[in-house]
């Protein structure tokens, strides 16, 4: 049975993940650098607070995720690490990252980092929308169904 790992600190779809996991009886791991509230005692949810530091939560997830598990993250390098372990990756806006798309996503991320460090104003991401939430729910359901068939 697949499990869902969530890079939870800035994840806007934690409630939706838990609702979908309940429907399928799938375990959810919420991993963060700071305490979270709202899911204590939930039988399907494990909340893990890791120490402060760059990539500590990412390392925790990448060390434990397995083939067919699902990671929900905005972090492209974490998604890449998980995909290399044959896990499935979804961004909170519903974009699915896989072996075919991760290279372009990494290149775009690196380009934007270079532009920002060179002083170019690139703006931030657009605001999270109802459409993003809907796209995420659809993508999560699709990935769960695919993982269950595998």
H helices within the chain, ranges in order? 14-24, 56-64, 76-83, 102-117, 130-149
pLDDT (0 to 100) of residue 96? 94
pLDDT (0 to 100) of residue 32? 92
Taken in order 80, 81, 85, 87, is the CA torsion positive or negative?
A: negative
CA 122 vs. chain centroid, Å, equals 24
Q: Which residues contact 125 (CB under 8 A, 6 or more apart)?
A: none
pLDDT (0 to 100) of residue 128? 87
CATH numbers and ranges of domains, the chain = 4-149 (3.40.50)
CA 31 vs. chain centroid, Å, equals 10
DSSP-derived 3-state class of residue 89: strand
pLDDT (0 to 100) of residue 105? 67
Q: Which residues lie across from 97 on neighbouring strands?
A: 89
Tokens for 140, please give them: 């999560």
Please list the ranges in the chain whose pLDDT falls under 50.
none
H helices within 45-101, ranges in order? 56-64, 76-83
Judge if pTM exceeds 0.95: no
pLDDT (0 to 100) of residue 115? 66
pLDDT digits (tens, 9 = 90+) for 66-107: 999 999 999 999 999 999 999 999 999 999 999 888 767 666
Question: Is the Cβ–Cβ distance between 9 and 32 less than 8 Å?
Answer: yes
The Cα–Cα gap between 112 and 107 comes to 9
pLDDT (0 to 100) of residue 37? 66
The Cα–Cα gap between 149 and 1 comes to 10
């Amino acid at each position: 049975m697949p499990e869902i790992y969530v890079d939870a600190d800035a994840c806007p779809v934690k409630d939706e993940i838990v609702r979908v996991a309940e429907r399928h009886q799938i375990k959810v791991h919420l991993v963060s650098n700071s305490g979270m509230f709202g899911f204590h005692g939930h039988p399907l949810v494990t909340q893990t607070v890791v120490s402060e530091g760059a990539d500590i939560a990412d390392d925790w997830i990448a060390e434990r995720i397995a083939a067919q598990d699902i990671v929900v993250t905005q972090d492209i390098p974490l998604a890449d690490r998980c995909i290399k372990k044959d896990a499935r990756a979804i961004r909170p806006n519903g974009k699915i990252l896989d072996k075919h798309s991760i290279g372009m996503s990494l290149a775009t991320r690196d380009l934007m980092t270079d532009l920002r460090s060179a002083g170019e104003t690139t703006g931030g991401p657009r605001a999270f929308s109802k459409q993003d939430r809907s796209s995420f729910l659809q993508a999560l359901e699709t990935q769960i169904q695919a993982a269950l068939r595998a």
